[in-house]
Amino acid sequence: MPLKMDNFLSFAIVNGFFIGLLLSFLKFDDPAMIVAGTLVSTMGFYLITLVSVSLFVRFVNTHENTSKKNAYNALLEEYIDEFDKREKATNKIRGFLRTMEKTMREEEEEEDLRTKSNKIGKETYADDF
Protein backbone atom coordinates (compact mmCIF):
# COMPACT_ATOMS: atom_id res chain seq x y z
CA MET A 1 0.00 0.00 0.00
CA PRO A 2 1.58 3.29 -1.04
CA LEU A 3 2.10 6.09 1.44
CA LYS A 4 -0.32 8.99 0.89
CA MET A 5 1.00 12.52 0.60
CA ASP A 6 -0.57 13.71 3.86
CA ASN A 7 0.73 10.70 5.73
CA PHE A 8 4.20 11.20 4.26
CA LEU A 9 4.15 14.84 5.36
CA SER A 10 3.05 13.91 8.89
CA PHE A 11 5.69 11.18 9.09
CA ALA A 12 8.42 13.64 8.05
CA ILE A 13 7.27 16.22 10.63
CA VAL A 14 7.40 13.66 13.44
CA ASN A 15 10.85 12.53 12.31
CA GLY A 16 12.00 16.15 12.17
CA PHE A 17 10.76 16.74 15.69
CA PHE A 18 12.58 13.78 17.18
CA ILE A 19 15.78 14.35 15.21
CA GLY A 20 15.70 18.02 16.24
CA LEU A 21 15.10 17.06 19.85
CA LEU A 22 18.00 14.62 19.81
CA LEU A 23 20.41 17.10 18.19
CA SER A 24 19.30 19.89 20.52
CA PHE A 25 19.99 17.73 23.56
CA LEU A 26 23.43 16.95 22.22
CA LYS A 27 24.31 20.55 21.33
CA PHE A 28 22.63 22.80 23.94
CA ASP A 29 22.43 22.87 27.73
CA ASP A 30 19.86 25.65 28.12
CA PRO A 31 16.22 24.38 28.04
CA ALA A 32 15.06 27.39 26.01
CA MET A 33 17.68 26.67 23.36
CA ILE A 34 16.66 23.00 23.30
CA VAL A 35 13.05 24.00 22.60
CA ALA A 36 14.11 26.59 19.99
CA GLY A 37 16.42 24.10 18.24
CA THR A 38 13.69 21.49 18.19
CA LEU A 39 11.19 23.95 16.69
CA VAL A 40 13.65 25.15 14.05
CA SER A 41 14.49 21.58 13.11
CA THR A 42 10.82 20.59 12.92
CA MET A 43 10.00 23.60 10.73
CA GLY A 44 12.96 22.83 8.49
CA PHE A 45 11.85 19.24 7.98
CA TYR A 46 8.30 20.44 7.36
CA LEU A 47 9.34 22.94 4.69
CA ILE A 48 11.71 20.55 2.93
CA THR A 49 9.09 17.80 2.89
CA LEU A 50 6.33 20.19 1.79
CA VAL A 51 8.43 21.39 -1.15
CA SER A 52 9.28 17.78 -2.06
CA VAL A 53 5.66 16.65 -1.95
CA SER A 54 4.50 19.70 -3.89
CA LEU A 55 7.04 19.10 -6.65
CA PHE A 56 6.15 15.41 -6.78
CA VAL A 57 2.46 16.18 -7.14
CA ARG A 58 3.14 18.90 -9.70
CA PHE A 59 5.48 17.01 -12.03
CA VAL A 60 5.09 13.30 -11.43
CA ASN A 61 1.53 12.65 -10.33
CA THR A 62 -0.48 14.74 -12.85
CA HIS A 63 -1.81 11.96 -15.09
CA GLU A 64 -3.36 9.99 -12.24
CA ASN A 65 -5.61 12.84 -11.06
CA THR A 66 -6.98 13.78 -14.48
CA SER A 67 -7.71 10.24 -15.66
CA LYS A 68 -9.83 9.31 -12.65
CA LYS A 69 -12.11 12.35 -12.82
CA ASN A 70 -14.34 10.94 -15.57
CA ALA A 71 -14.61 7.59 -13.82
CA TYR A 72 -15.57 9.31 -10.57
CA ASN A 73 -18.21 11.40 -12.32
CA ALA A 74 -19.72 8.32 -13.97
CA LEU A 75 -19.74 6.48 -10.64
CA LEU A 76 -21.42 9.43 -8.92
CA GLU A 77 -24.10 9.55 -11.64
CA GLU A 78 -24.82 5.86 -11.05
CA TYR A 79 -25.14 6.50 -7.33
CA ILE A 80 -27.49 9.41 -7.92
CA ASP A 81 -29.71 7.25 -10.16
CA GLU A 82 -29.72 4.48 -7.55
CA PHE A 83 -30.64 6.95 -4.79
CA ASP A 84 -33.51 8.28 -6.92
CA LYS A 85 -34.85 4.75 -7.46
CA ARG A 86 -34.67 3.98 -3.76
CA GLU A 87 -36.34 7.27 -2.87
CA LYS A 88 -39.24 6.48 -5.21
CA ALA A 89 -39.61 3.02 -3.70
CA THR A 90 -39.49 4.48 -0.20
CA ASN A 91 -42.17 7.02 -1.07
CA LYS A 92 -44.41 4.23 -2.42
CA ILE A 93 -43.94 2.26 0.81
CA ARG A 94 -44.75 5.35 2.89
CA GLY A 95 -47.92 5.94 0.87
CA PHE A 96 -48.96 2.33 1.35
CA LEU A 97 -48.35 2.55 5.11
CA ARG A 98 -50.37 5.76 5.34
CA THR A 99 -53.34 4.18 3.59
CA MET A 100 -53.07 1.11 5.84
CA GLU A 101 -53.02 3.31 8.95
CA LYS A 102 -56.02 5.24 7.66
CA THR A 103 -58.04 2.07 7.00
CA MET A 104 -57.05 0.62 10.37
CA ARG A 105 -58.19 3.82 12.12
CA GLU A 106 -61.49 3.70 10.25
CA GLU A 107 -61.98 0.04 11.21
CA GLU A 108 -61.19 0.81 14.85
CA GLU A 109 -63.68 3.68 14.84
CA GLU A 110 -66.37 1.42 13.33
CA GLU A 111 -65.60 -1.25 15.92
CA ASP A 112 -65.82 1.32 18.72
CA LEU A 113 -69.20 2.44 17.40
CA ARG A 114 -70.39 -1.18 17.28
CA THR A 115 -69.27 -1.87 20.83
CA LYS A 116 -70.92 1.31 22.05
CA SER A 117 -74.17 0.45 20.28
CA ASN A 118 -74.01 -3.11 21.70
CA LYS A 119 -73.50 -1.70 25.22
CA ILE A 120 -76.43 0.66 24.76
CA GLY A 121 -78.57 -2.19 23.42
CA LYS A 122 -77.66 -4.41 26.38
CA GLU A 123 -78.49 -1.64 28.83
CA THR A 124 -81.95 -1.21 27.35
CA TYR A 125 -82.58 -4.96 27.59
CA ALA A 126 -81.42 -4.91 31.21
CA ASP A 127 -83.89 -2.13 31.96
CA ASP A 128 -86.73 -4.20 30.54
CA PHE A 129 -86.25 -6.93 33.16
Domain ranges of the chain: 1-60, 65-129
**Nearest CA to 74 among 64, 84, 82?**
82
Is the whole-model pTM more than 0.85? no
Query: For each successive 10 residues of the chain (129 residues), what is the average pLDDT?
Result: 78 92 92 93 93 85 68 90 94 93 91 80 57
**For residue 24, what pLDDT is reported?**
93
Which of these, 45, 2, 48, lies nearest to 23 by C-alpha position?
45
